Structure 1
């Protein structure tokens, strides 16, 4: 509900409810041609708790705990 109130204020907003397994089943990765697609959960951790060096793609799957409601 919080995300809808924040990001869905526009009259053109759409909400889609699904599951991870349905998303995975509906994706045809054969047309990616040299690209990859990563589907994985987001970790909500404080920046000071991140240890070591992250791989490039890992930064897209980490958010501050403040956004856990999303």
Structure 2
């Protein structure tokens, strides 16, 4: 099974529901399981930006671009 995709999907749903910390946790797990999942870095960057973590967001966006 594609657990990375499952965590990625759940992270996106949590973000939509307003659970930003839960979204980051799930996106972290997706990245841990599949380090080349560019969309997970992009979406984690979005959530980090919304939480005010601008440096973390920039790092994630840069990694997504690199991939």
Normalising by the residue count of structure 1, what TM-score does the alignment of the two structures yield?
A: 0.25
Which has more radius of gyration?
1
Q: Which has the higher strand share?
A: 1
Structure with greater proportional helix content: 2
